[in-house]
Amino acid sequence: MNTIIEPFRIKTVEPIRMTTVAERETILHKADYNLFSIASRDVLIDLLTDSGTGAMSTKQWAAIMQGDESYAGSPSFDRFESTIQNLFPFQHIIPTHQGRAAEAILFSILAGNGKVIPSNTHFDTTRGNIEATGAEAHDLVIEEGKDPQNLHPFKGNMDIAKLDSFLSEHGKNVPCVMLTVTNNAGGGQPVSLENIRATREMAKKYGLPFIIDACRFAENAWFIKLREKGQQTRSITEIVRDMFEGADGMTMSAKKDAFANIGGWLALNDDELAEKARTRLILTEGFPTYGGLAGRDLEAIAQGLEEIIDEDYLRYRVAVNQYIGDRLHKMGVPVVRPVGGHAVFIDARAFLPHIDPLQYPGQALSCEMYRLAGVRACEIGTVMFGRKPDGSEEPAAMDLVRLAIPRRTYTQSHADYMLERIEQIVGEKDKLRGMRIKWEPPAMRHFTAKFEVLT
């Protein structure tokens, strides 16, 4: 079977404003070649992120109308709580406005000066929230996970031996062990069930809580079903329950694998920890039965969770990335392999070897994709990570361009159109030029820096 059809039909449409190459050249120039400065109405296919950009279903929109906006004791909270507990059997479910709010609450309790927290790879907001308390975040992903061409099936796995020595070295300064599924910062790479269990056992050995950053739990479960020995005949629900068995908590962004435009939660088993978290929640987010959300959001999330574990959806979801990744690979565009769950990453440094990393090959390629195709992708490389706190600059580990795929939003013809345009770039790639930053802020420069094309 060559074509995996979208397992949905379209009831509501959102028109895309068509633009020409000439118009986009002007727009790009006005935006100083920073794609974050471009208005979304000037973008044909927006692959900047898969976070909160998915399409909701008819049932989600219907659930929105059933949202009960009572301050306390809303039945929408009951539905939210019981749907979550059906998949993830935690005692306490604490709603937040996004994943990062769950992280901020958790680390305000667990982290602090002198503490160190290991994970396979901390996502940037997780790392930021840990560091904001004065603690340190450490990444202990397996070596295979750092090699863009290594075909290991579970490149998100924790290096268990490294975790063991890390925990024995840091002893009482470690408040918990984290694990991100799938490993977003590492390219959306999955973690095997065996590795999740081994990480949990290692946490138990040292008497530490084991907390899962679960943003893409359903994509991770699908990869387990596809790739892990003995898992092929099991349901996604069974696999998800196994993934979370014995875990002490989870942080979640409902903007990922819950099909919502906003939302998240923190789940915990420990009563005392949960009590502290709820006290903090009331200060920063809201009352425990709505957190940072409206009743209608709680409903949309609950319904989304019932839909995300659908195997027809997950098969299609992963097939889309696979399709784009395989086609790019065949036309000679180097991509991170195997392709992850939510995005395709182009290795821009390998694709444009004539552009020095300090002249931002990832930025050059993403600007060309916008100019020629109207596609907005995201540079993840030297622009994002290359500036050191002292103002000096170094090439990042890799110069990637991420095509993050919003859930249920674009069709195969959108993908085919984009691939045709990228093929055109392949033919002319030697003409692409590097870039120079003409202005940048002191931190997080990728959002606002101004660029010019080198001549």
Ligand X SMILES: *Cc1c(COP(=O)(O)O)cnc(C)c1O
Percent of residues in the chain assigned helix, strand, coil, to nearest 5? 45, 15, 40
Closer to ligand X by CB, 126 or 366: give it: 126
Which residues bind to ligand X, rule: CB under 6 A? Answer: 51, 98-100, 123, 125-126, 180, 184, 213, 215, 253, 255-256, 264
Identity (one letter) of the amino acid at 221?
A
Closer to ligand X by CB, 398 or 404: give it: 404
Helices (H) and strands (E) in the chain, counts: 16, 14
- Position of minimal CB gap to ligand X: 99
Closer to ligand X by CB, 345 or 351: give it: 345
Structure tokens, 260: 């919502």
**How far is 365 from 385, CA to CA, in rounded Å?**
17
Closer to ligand X by CB, 24 or 407: give it: 407
Identity (one letter) of the amino acid at 23?
E
Closer to ligand X by CB, 51 or 192: give it: 51
Q: In what order do the strands lie in the sheet with 400-404?
A: 343-347, 400-404, 378-380
Closer to ligand X by CB, 179 or 396: give it: 179
Rounded to a whole number of angstroms, the minimum distance from the CB of residue 99 to ligand X is 3
**How far is 71 from 434, CA to CA, in rounded Å?**
54
39 — phi, psi (to 5°)?
Answer: -70, 145
Rounded to a whole number of angstroms, the minimum distance from the CB of residue 18 to ligand X is 30
Q: Count CB neighbours of 401 within 10 A.
A: 26
Rounded to a whole number of angstroms, the minimum distance from the CB of residue 213 to ligand X is 5
**406 has which bridge partners?**
none
Rounded to a whole number of angstroms, the minimum distance from the CB of residue 286 to ligand X is 16
285 secondary structure, DSSP code = T
Q: Count CB neighbours of 283 within 10 A.
A: 10
**How many Cα atoms are found within 13 Å in the side-chain-facing hemisphere of 376?**
22
Three-state DSSP at 308 gives helix
Identity (one letter) of the amino acid at 26?
T
Q: Count CB neighbours of 247 within 10 A.
A: 24
Rounded to a whole number of angstroms, the minimum distance from the CB of residue 11 to ligand X is 27
Rounded to a whole number of angstroms, the minimum distance from the CB of residue 130 to ligand X is 12
Q: CA angle at residue 42 from 41 to 45, to 5 degrees?
A: 85
Q: Give the residue ranges of DSSP H helices in 133-216.
A: 160-170, 193-205
Structure tokens, 193: 């069930």
Rounded to a whole number of angstroms, the minimum distance from the CB of residue 254 to ligand X is 7
Rounded to a whole number of angstroms, the minimum distance from the CB of residue 253 to ligand X is 3
Closer to ligand X by CB, 185 or 314: give it: 185
The H or E element that residue 266 is part of is strand 264-268
Closer to ligand X by CB, 180 or 321: give it: 180
Q: Count CB neighbours of 397 within 10 A.
A: 12
Closer to ligand X by CB, 345 or 360: give it: 345
Rounded to a whole number of angstroms, the minimum distance from the CB of residue 386 to ligand X is 22
Closer to ligand X by CB, 255 or 387: give it: 255
Closer to ligand X by CB, 217 or 370: give it: 217
Identity (one letter) of the amino acid at 167?
L
Rounded to a whole number of angstroms, the minimum distance from the CB of residue 271 to ligand X is 25
Burial environment of residue 263 by CB neighbours within 10 A (0 to 12, 13 to 18, 19 or more): buried
Identity (one letter) of the amino acid at 359?
Q
Question: Is the N-terminal amide bond of 338 cis, ω within 30° of 0?
Answer: yes
Rounded to a whole number of angstroms, the minimum distance from the CB of residue 339 to ligand X is 17
